[in-house]
């Protein structure tokens, strides 16, 4: 029987295998061909697509629980002062698909704000920029413009979202 060939874009996919006989061949184009001996194996849910969300402390636990129940992994992320989880400055390519947190988690307390504030913020989010990891910061819609002024030029991968649009925006990146 001819094996099933699946073409999959590497950059957006993590696959978890239980006991699937798979042979992987990597091509320069960024695509992989996986040869699976039986299509039934896929139908039996032995092959799962996984995503991972990094979250700052205080992120909506109901959203995180919902995503976890759907098979999305959750990873606590720390800013440079609260030590809640993996430091956001240490994230590597492919470690998470998106980082989510409330706006105040990237803004230091007033005594931490200096003329170098924008540089501090850019350094904190440097790993996300370098590895093209989107960052969704939660802020009420009516305060979005004010929050943008505080953030300054942080790059195209940092987005301000309202609590109401958070889940939909997170799902865009998973």
For the chain, list the domains and their CATH numbers.
4-49 (no CATH), 51-173 (3.40.50.2300)
DSSP string, 20-60: --EEEEE-TTSEEEEEES-HHHHHTT-EEEE-EEEEETT--
Rounded to an integer, what is the distance from CA 130 to the centroid of its chain?
A: 13
Percent of the chain with pLDDT over 90: 39
Say whether pLDDT at 87 is over 80: yes
Say whether pLDDT at 173 is over 90: yes
Kindly list the distances between the CA atom of residue 161 and the CA atoms of 66, 81, 144, in Å, as whole numbers in the listed order: 19, 23, 8
| Torsion of the alpha carbons at 37, 38, 43 and 48, rounded to the nearest 10 | -10
Say whether pLDDT at 37 is over 80: no
What is the average per-residue pLDDT within 164-171? 95
Say whether pLDDT at 147 is over 70: yes
Q: What pLDDT was estimated at residue 85?
A: 85
Say whether pLDDT at 72 is over 80: yes
**pLDDT class of 75 with cuts at 50, 70, 90:** very high
The 10s digit of each residue's pLDDT in 91-139 is 999 999 999 999 988 887 665 556 666 666 777 888 888 899 999 999 9
Q: What pLDDT was estimated at residue 7?
A: 40
Provide CB contacts within 8 A for 168, sequence distance 6+. Answer: none
More confident residue, 124 or 20: 124
Q: What pLDDT was estimated at residue 115?
A: 64
Say whether pLDDT at 163 is over 70: yes
């Amino acid at each position: 029987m001819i094996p099933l060939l699946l073409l999959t874009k590497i950059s957006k996919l993590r696959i978890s295998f239980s006991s699937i006989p798979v042979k992987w061949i990597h091509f320069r184009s960024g695509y992989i061909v996986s040869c699976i001996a039986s299509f039934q194996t896929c139908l039996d849910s032995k092959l799962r697509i996984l995503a991972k969300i990094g979250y700052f402390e205080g992120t909506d636990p109901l959203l995180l629980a919902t995503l976890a129940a759907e098979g999305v992994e959750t990873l606590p992320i720390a800013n440079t002062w609260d030590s809640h989880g993996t430091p956001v400055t240490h994230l590597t390519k492919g470690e998470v698909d998106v980082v989510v947190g409330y706006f105040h988690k990237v803004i230091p307390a007033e005594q931490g704000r200096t003329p170098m504030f924008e540089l501090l913020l850019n350094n904190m989010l440097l790993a996300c920029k370098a590895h093209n990891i989107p960052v969704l910061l939660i802020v009420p819609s009516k305060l979005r413009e004010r929050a943008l002024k505080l953030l300054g030029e942080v790059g195209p991968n940092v987005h301000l979202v309202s609590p109401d649009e958070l889940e939909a925006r997170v799902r865009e990146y998973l």
